[in-house]
Structure 1
Amino acid sequence: MNHVYLLFVRMILIGGLLSCVSTSLHAQWKQCSGSFVGEVTCFTGNSTLLYVGTSTSGIYRSTDDGANWSQVNQGLTDQKVHALAMIGSIVFAGTDFDGLFRSPDSGATWTVANEGRIHLLNIDVHSMVTRENLLFAGSIGGGVSRSIDLAENWTPVNTKLGNEYVHSLGLLGSKLFAGTEGGVSRSNDNGVSWEAANTGLPNTPTYVTSFAVSGTTIFAGTSDSGVFRSNDNGDTWEEANGGLPTKNITSMTAIGSTIFAGSRDAGVFLSSDNGNNWAPFTTGLQHLNITSLYAKGSTLYAGTALASVWKYEKITSVSESENTAQDILITPNPAGTSFTITGIDGANHLELINSIGMTIRAWNVESSVCTLDVAGVPAGVYSLRISTATGMRHTPIVVMH
């Protein structure tokens, strides 16, 4: 209870700024068509193409943002795909047994790309990230490899990595992060050397499944300890699990300042306050075993263990401070089962909006003072949207029971 109250006080102290997620009023998850087989393990794409990798049936491509899909496996001898990435128009696929593949023609054909000082053949390539013309591949048992020539040649970059079972890779500015079965390692020189970056992470056996970046903050999702964040380039980490009912995080991504976490069997969760608090983001989502998340513009895609792809469109992080209603009084605030609002002269339409932009309650009022019922509304921080003939205003309200 004190945590929720302090969060409210902090919002007031910064001038009533309420950061939230703006979506279409009736927006919800929608399932994409496509006859996928196996878990949907990964995504990549550009402005015109979207790709997914699966655990048993290779790679699928969509040219219309997921409305239709075609299987593109010619030359792909290993169809258990763990990772996808793109540099320009070239697509890369990391597989379970046959290493890494490359396609120069939008997935129409694939060729093995495993050469160099290290052969990625027979290595499970589990993650990839790109920076300009650099391609990094993380593997289970083989550590991190780097290519500077679009996967023509590979070089191992594992000095002081510590643990060569790499499940995830992430980038924050010039820093490269590797999520291993021993925690997090960080490189400041494109993998030439590594150092442990585990301060604040749990000592219990865990591994980092995914990274997400928002501004200067990097988030790490773990297999059994939830979400951690670092505001100092990985020097220290702190737990960021407020409101998360599960600690098994499979994937993470961000759209602006809004962070998303996919979980095993509990769906997708959203945070609009830098990971302090999380809320379910599952309206319309029928498959809750999330295996991958991918953000493309303002659209969020989710892959599931039940061979399905889902998307949620028109997500934007917004600041509503310009229209914050400073002259409106709400008492009590935090509210219990009801609250009284004063200072809304004339006819008004009021809406109680949650952290993902959904209307929880709505009222039409004509009095300047009115008492409104919030019994049954889940405890949390909300925005009260006040619509009049002259415009729209917002004011924060906390519900506590």
Structure 2
Amino acid sequence: MMTAIFPSQVLANTNSWSQLALEKVGIMDLAVDPARSETLYAATTQGLQMSSDSGTTWHSINKGLPASEATSIAINPTNSKNIFVCYDGEGIFKSVDGGETWVAQNDGLPTLNVRTLVFHPKDSNTLYAGIKGGVCITSNAGSKWSPTSGFKPYTNVNDIAFNPQDPSTVYAATGNDGVFKSTNGGVSWKDINTGLPSLSIFTLSIDPKNPERIIAGTYNAVTPTDLYVGDVYGGVFYTNDGGAHWQASKALSSVTIFRLVRYPQNSNVVYASTLGGIYRSIDGGINWTDINAGLANEFLHALVLIPQKDAPLLLSGTPNGIYTYTDQEWNSLKAKISVIPKWVWWTAGGTAGAILVGLVIWLILRKRRKGKEKQKYAW
């Protein structure tokens, strides 16, 4: 069970970002120990860093690691002493002692260009690595890797996401060929790009309550010609049917999206770290509002969310260290909106206007129901 971190522990301001640590250090990825949330890891331009006090102080844990930029971190959800870190050019390294020592785990990898690494949600011995050329899988905790089929040799895989209700369905975000989907546990893959004008994808986020709803964060690839003809490139795209069709989120278009993170208590709340700040959506990724107060640098590559009792705590990695943010504002939004029912989303048909109509109807019905309940229980 995750230990709660309170805002005072990480010096996070309410509704305003504050710098936490690692000033002048470029942050590529952030990870939280699933057993002890006061223990944090950062993949940086100066290797791997670790904090045991909620991010106040950090120290290098690079014994046995390359002297180069780390790209991604994965922590075993059932044994947090087992940590993997990957490098785009040096491969994958594993620690079984909480980061004190590291050993290369590259047997079977066709390339050492590794962008991301994720654990299978039901088997901690099985991991998926996103590489230049597709996805590789290990079933023995990294001792041996096996390539999968369906990707081109030059395809860079930046992110991998599982259907939380059916882990045999897996999605991969690529840097040049769009989104790929596997329905056999990752053995074979097929692209699902209908409606995606930008095929450069950094990140994916799947709604755990409705896995058919997926958000993709893409690169900003706008050119003067694109602007002239009115095409949308970069930004957020979403699908309601498991990737069969994609639509653009007009409220956050033509922006490079690095990370998408959902709030566990309400999966309609999504945060996006971008090349223009941090944005929050409260309708599953269709409309977005910036929450950039206090940010000195808007190039926000890494983003993690630590659930708390009162409000979400966000940590973001920038080229100038780590920033924190406690989103107390979400409490007021939550009180007004509560949990949006599924039928409101499906009434939308993919348009924000219809979503508003559905939401208004639901609020009217909800008000009438509460009025009847009040009469029923009046003394």
Fold similarity call, TM over 0.5: yes
Larger strand share, 1 or 2 = 1
SS in structure 2 at match of 1:300 = strand
Contiguous gaps of at least 5 residues in structure 2: 1-11, 221-233, 339-358, 360-379
Judge conservation of contact 2:203–2:216 (CA < 8 Å) in 1.
yes
Choose from 163, 168, 176 the match for 2:159.
168
CA, structure 1 residues 26+82, in 2 after alignment: closer, same or farther (shift >3 Å)?
closer
Q: Does 1:281 align with 2:296?
A: no
| SS of residue in 2 equivalent to 1:268 | strand
Please provide the CA RMSD for this pair.
Answer: 2.4
Q: Which position in structure 1 is the counterpart of 2:223?
A: none
The alpha-carbon distance between structure 1 residues 147 and 77, as it changes in their structure 2 partners (threshold 3 A), is same
Aligned mates of 1:293, 1:222 — CA distance in 2: 16
Write out aligned runs for 1:226-305 (5 A).
226-242=235-251, 244=252, 246-255=254-263, 256=266, 257-264=268-275, 266-297=276-307, 298-305=312-319
Q: Which has the larger radius of gyration?
A: 1
Matched with 2:195 is 200
Please, which runs of 5 or more residues in structure 1 have no aligned partner?
1-23, 324-380, 382-401
Question: CA offsets per residue over residues 322-358 of structure 1, 9 Å max, x none?
Answer: 99xxxxxxxxxxxxxxxxxxxxxxxxxxxxxxxxxxx
Q: How many Å apart are 1:187 and its aligned residue?
A: 0.8
In 1, Cα distance between the equivalents of 2:260 and 2:85?
A: 19
Asked if the contact 1:78–1:95 (Cα under 8 Å) also holds between the matched residues in 2, the reply is no
Inter-partner Cα distance in structure 1 for 2:24 and 2:99 = 16
Q: Residue type matched to 1:109 in 2?
A: T
Instruction: Letter of the 1:253 partner, please give it.
Output: V
Over residues 207-233 of structure 1, what are the superposed CA-to-partner deviations in whole Å (9 max), with x where a residue is unaligned? 101112333222110002200112222
Give the TM-score normalised by structure 2: 0.71
- Does structure 2 retain, via aligned residues, the 8 Å contact 1:129–1:136? yes
Q: Name 1:138's counterpart in structure 2.
A: 130
Cα drift, residue 126 of structure 1: 0.4
Identity of aligned residues (%): 27
Runs of 4 or more above 6 Å deviation: none
Q: Which residue, out of 205, 215, 221, partners 1:212?
A: 205
1:245 is displaced (CA, Å) by 6.5
CA contact (8 A) 1:99 1:114 kept: yes
Mapped partners of 1:259, 1:153: distance in 2? 35
Given that 1:213 and 1:253 are in contact with CA atoms closer than 8 Å, whether structure 2 keeps it comes out as no
Q: TM-score, normalised by structure 1?
A: 0.67
Q: What is the CA–CA distance in structure 1 between the aligned matches of 2:173 and 2:337, rounded to whole Å?
A: 40
| Residue 68 to residue 178, structure 1, CA distance change in 2 (3 Å) | same
- Equivalents in 1 of 2:290, 2:202: separation in Å? 20
CA–CA distance in 1 between the matches of 2:56 and 2:21?
Answer: 6
Q: Does 1:124 align with 2:113?
A: yes
1:235, CA displacement in angstroms?
1.9
Aligned length: 289
In 2, Cα distance between the equivalents of 1:36 and 1:112?
Answer: 28
Q: C-alpha displacement at 1:105, in angstroms?
A: 1.3
**More helix by proportion, 1 or 2?**
2
- In the other structure, the counterpart of 1:392 is none
Q: Secondary structure at the match of 2:75?
A: strand
Q: Equivalent residue of 1:107, what SS?
A: coil
Q: Which amino acid aligns with 1:147?
A: T
